[in-house]
């Protein structure tokens, strides 16, 4: 048998194993009798025990005490960051064995489906904040593998603000609401954040991402995920490679407009959470492909940037992303708190074949995640909570502590021991025991950063240059908005200096919006973040001008645009609507996987041109264009006149046009379109179509919806020189 060849073996149904494991803890109270936590049946849950019906309550009322005590302790501390999250269960299936680079079984076995749990989140806001804040999105995936849990705890952006974990508390303190007044919530547009950023030029690359449309995803199902750090793969022969992890959404990468995001926050602050839940509930399961960028150990220093620097990415043109498997989210949680809130991710949850690197941000996170779970989940036994349990048995000498679930038998809880034949015993590497990669380290203890970490602007410039013109405009708008909220002029000016080191045109446009001038000699505040005796390089002098000026993979304009699956389309209709046209377009959209809602002046039924009753899904009072991806107006004289007379309906169309969405109308609906501000632009505007044949119009409309947005409607910038 060849070296890497494996004998045939039956697939292990780990997904069912995990579901059965969770099922042991799943309770449904339907039809059951009420008890207290010891199992004692409750006779009266409506009244506390009193001394007479108007007398004082009695201390002996153990039912009252248990109920109130549990209520008092129902809320656990929310996460310091990533507090607002949404979760889902699913499976991961490998396409092709990766045994050449890693011995991790779940990346070698193409027959077994590995169960997963995913939690998406915003970073800066509290649990009660909006889904649509301009923010990084957490993208954490737990694989319940045959060798234990592997947690890939990443974001929807491939880089981060800082290079060293020692700066993380400062970053979060700066972006959180200001401590004197607890304002603003879930927003970075304030003085303390930009004060910190303007003094930390290493954040330049991440700021480009955070101010881009990537910070405003259309859906959690339509955003990429990244492991951020460089990890190691290790194969069965002990040969290591560097690896970057990617999640590629099969629906493409799409965003909303900034103005739209602000409106959605007011209309439905649970927009992303609801969208994910509804998609899974309807059977439109979200899918991502897992991609890896592999760099052999001997190529560690071949790049113009440092692989251990978390403010850098590896351009896909230099190292292509290999798609090695697919993740499908197919089940919503049964209980938000028990699963989504109590899931405890940790970068240190790894399996044989995966190891760490010396990335100083990664190294600090390895400590931080365990530490925070100890506080949030009440002690060292958080791994025994059902959502955190691996699918494989756990045996060790750990005992006791708060909320211990396991009942450990036997008299030995130490190693070595002879009374229990030295059980549990250590596992040899060839039997699956974890062995850390034997990286050679020969150095002195020092608080410093490598000079290879000091180029802070080349990749920020690469990102900006790679954007389409509309995306660049949005970055200008975002920076102008954010810095426009900063009250301290010196911070604005310092930030303009940073922007000028990325792109002088970008800095000039933002300066114009702020009513300021770009500093002639940008401040390079290296001395403010690095000890004076280490500040031997000027930031501008260590910029690396690489051969790669653009990367197609960095622009969302190049994403998948071949489907309308799960896209939400609004049909504006009233009494007298042409039902033939309405149903023809509705049927065509639904056949392509789109979701249609009929919006009418009132709830209930509308009566069509031919007296057919049609259920209205929403009214103009409860619906809004920002909650939909496209709009269609069918004909029918009375319906058209009624729609045109409703200000909210005309606003619905105006707003959809402003946000660059596809709009379709029957020829007989021109009366409505003529009431909009964009009526004179219809002939020359892509994404707005009018036609008399519903079938032909539907086909054109579907193709337009696939494009997601027609950003060319936005006027190009004309900034004075």
- The neighbouring-strand residues paired with 325 are 94, 290
- The answer to whether the CB of 678 falls within 8 A of the CB of 651 is no
Query: Beta strands 240-249 and 231-234: pairing type?
Result: antiparallel
CA dihedral 606, 271, 712, 189 (to 10 degrees): 140
Would you call 47 a catalytic residue per the annotation?
no
Query: Beta strands 85-94 and 114-122: pairing type?
Result: antiparallel
Greatest extent of the chain over all pairs of C-alpha atoms, in Å: 91
Following DSSP, what letter does each residue of 219-251 receive, concatenated? -GGG--EE--S-EEEE-TTS-EEEEEEEEEETT
Backbone angles phi, psi at 232, to 5 degrees: -115, 140
Whether residue 184 has a cis bond before it, omega within 30° of 0: yes
CA–CA dist 19, 618 (Å, integer):
37
Instruction: Name 707's Cβ contacts closer than 8 Å, sequence gap at least 6.
Output: 561, 662, 687
Token pair of 455 as six digits: 């180029």
Query: Beta strands 618-619 and 595-600: pairing type?
Result: parallel
- The answer to whether the CB of 254 falls within 8 A of the CB of 218 is yes
CA–CA dist 117, 142 (Å, integer):
5
Helix 258-267 crosses helix 469-484 at what angle (to 10 degrees)? Answer: 60
Following DSSP, what letter does each residue of 534-590 receive, concatenated? G--S-TGGG----S----GGG-GGGS--S--TT-EEEEE--TT--HHHHHHHHHHHH
Closest CA to 7 of 109, 127, 154, 131: 109
The DSSP secondary-structure symbol of 617 reads S
Would you call 517 a catalytic residue per the annotation?
no
Helix 647-658 crosses helix 637-644 at what angle (to 10 degrees)? Answer: 80
CA-derived radius of gyration, the chain = 29
CA–CA dist 360, 310 (Å, integer):
9
> CA 405, 406, 408 angle in degrees (round to 5)?
145
What is residue 57's three-state secondary structure? strand
- How many other CB atoms are there within 10 angstroms of residue 719's CB atom? 12
174: burial class by Cβ within 10 Å (0-12, 13-18, 19+)?
A: buried
- The answer to whether the CB of 455 falls within 8 A of the CB of 542 is yes
If residue 329 lies in a helix (H) or strand (E), which one and from where to where? Answer: strand 322-331
CA–CA dist 150, 147 (Å, integer):
9
The DSSP secondary-structure symbol of 32 reads P
Query: Beta strands 595-600 and 354-355: pairing type?
Result: unpaired
Beta strands in 498-577 (DSSP E): 568-572
Please pick, among 108, 149, 155, 332, the residue that the annotation labels catalytic.
Answer: 155
Please pick, among 82, 229, 346, 349, the residue that the annotation labels catalytic.
Answer: 82
What is residue 287's three-state secondary structure? strand
Closest CA to 335 of 678, 3, 23: 23
Residue with tokens 């060319």: 712
CA–CA dist 273, 33 (Å, integer):
33
291: burial class by Cβ within 10 Å (0-12, 13-18, 19+)?
A: buried
Instruction: Name 6's Cβ contacts closer than 8 Å, sequence gap at least 6.
Output: 108
Q: In which region does residue 476 sit, left (phi positive, over 0), alpha (psi from -120 to 50) or beta (all else)?
A: alpha
Active site residues: 82, 155
């Amino acid at each position: 048998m060849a070296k890497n060849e494996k004998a045939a073996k039956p697939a292990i149904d780990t997904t069912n194993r995990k579901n059965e494991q969770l099922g042991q803890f799943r309770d449904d109270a339907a039809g059951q009798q009420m008890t207290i936590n010891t199992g004692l049946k409750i006779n009266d849950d409506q009244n506390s025990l009193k001394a007479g019906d108007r007398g004082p309550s009695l201390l002996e009322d153990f039912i009252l005490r248990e109920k109130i005590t549990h209520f008092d302790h129902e809320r656990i501390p929310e996460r310091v960051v990533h507090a607002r999250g949404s979760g889902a269960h699913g499976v991961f299936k490998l396409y092709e064995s990766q045994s050449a680079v890693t011995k991790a079984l779940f990346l070698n076995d193409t027959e077994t489906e590995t169960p997963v749990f995913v939690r998406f989140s915003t970073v800066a806001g509290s649990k009660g904040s909006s889904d649509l804040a301009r923010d990084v999105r957490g993208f954490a995936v737990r694989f319940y593998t045959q060798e234990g849990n592997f947690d890939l705890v990443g974001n929807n952006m491939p880089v981060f603000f800082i290079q060293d974990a020692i700066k993380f508390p400062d970053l979060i303190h700066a972006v959180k609401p200001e401590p004197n007044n607890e304002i603003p919530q879930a927003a970075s547009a304030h003085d303390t954040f930009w004060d910190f950023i303007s003094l930390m030029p290493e954040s330049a690359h991440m700021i480009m991402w955070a101010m881009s449309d990537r910070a405003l995803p259309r859906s959690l199902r339509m955003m990429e995920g990244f492991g951020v750090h460089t990890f190691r793969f290790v194969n069965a022969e002990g040969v290591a490679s560097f690896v970057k992890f990617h999640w590629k959404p099969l629906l493409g990468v799409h965003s909303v407009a900034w103005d739209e995001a602000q409106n959605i926050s007011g209309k439905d602050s649970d927009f992303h959470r609801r969208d994910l839940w509804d998609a899974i509930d309807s059977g439109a399961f979200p899918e991502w492909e897992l991609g890896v960028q592999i760099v052999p150990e001997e190529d560690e220093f071949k790049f113009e940037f440092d692989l251990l620097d978390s403010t850098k990415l590896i351009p896909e043109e230099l190292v292509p992303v290999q798609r090695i498997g697919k993740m499908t989210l197919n089940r919503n949680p049964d209980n938000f708190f028990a699963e989504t809130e109590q899931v405890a991710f940790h970068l240190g949850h790894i399996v044989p074949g995966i190891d760490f690197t010396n990335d100083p941000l990664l190294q600090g996170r390895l400590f931080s995640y365990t530490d925070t779970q100890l506080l949030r989940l009440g002690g060292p036994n958080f791994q025994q909570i059902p959502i955190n349990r691996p699918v494989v048995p756990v045996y060790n000498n750990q005992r006791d502590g708060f909320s211990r679930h396991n009942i450990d038998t036997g008299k030995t809880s130490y190693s070595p021991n002879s009374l229990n034949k030295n059980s549990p015993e250590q596992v040899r590497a060839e039997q699956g025991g974890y062995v850390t990669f034997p990286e050679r380290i020969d150095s002195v203890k020092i608080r410093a950063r490598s000079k290879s970490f000091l180029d802070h602007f080349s990749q920020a410039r690469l990102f900006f240059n790679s954007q389409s013109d509309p995306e660049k405009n949005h970055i200008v708008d975002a920076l102008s908005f954010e810095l426009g909220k900063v009250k301290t002029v010196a911070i604005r000016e310092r930030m303009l200096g940073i922007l000028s080191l990325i792109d002088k045109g970008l800095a000039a446009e933002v300066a114009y919006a702020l009513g300021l001038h770009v500093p002639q000699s940008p401040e390079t505040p290296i001395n403010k973040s690095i000890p004076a005796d280490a500040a031997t390089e000027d930031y501008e002098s260590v910029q690396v001008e690489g051969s790669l000026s653009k990367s197609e993979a960095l622009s969302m304009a190049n994403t998948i645009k071949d489907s309308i699956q799960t896209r939400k389309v609004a049909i504006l209709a009233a009494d007298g609507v042409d039902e033939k046209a309405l149903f023809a377009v509705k049927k065509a959209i639904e056949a392509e996987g789109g979701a249609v809602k009929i919006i009418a002046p009132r709830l209930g039924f509308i009566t069509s041109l031919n007296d057919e009753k049609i259920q209205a899904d929403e009214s103009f009072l409860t619906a809004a264009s920002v909650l939909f991806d496209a709009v269609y107006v069918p004909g029918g004289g009375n319906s058209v006149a009624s729609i045109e007379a409703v200000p909210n309906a005309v606003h619905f169309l105006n707003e959809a046009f402003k946000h660059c969405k596809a709009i379709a109308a029957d020829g007989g609906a021109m009366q409505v379109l003529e009431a909009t501000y964009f009526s004179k632009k219809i002939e020359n505007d892509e994404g707005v179509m009018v036609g008399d044949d519903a079938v032909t119009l539907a086909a054109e409309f579907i193709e337009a919806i696939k494009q997601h947005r027609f950003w060319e409607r936005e006027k190009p910038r004309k900034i004075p020189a």
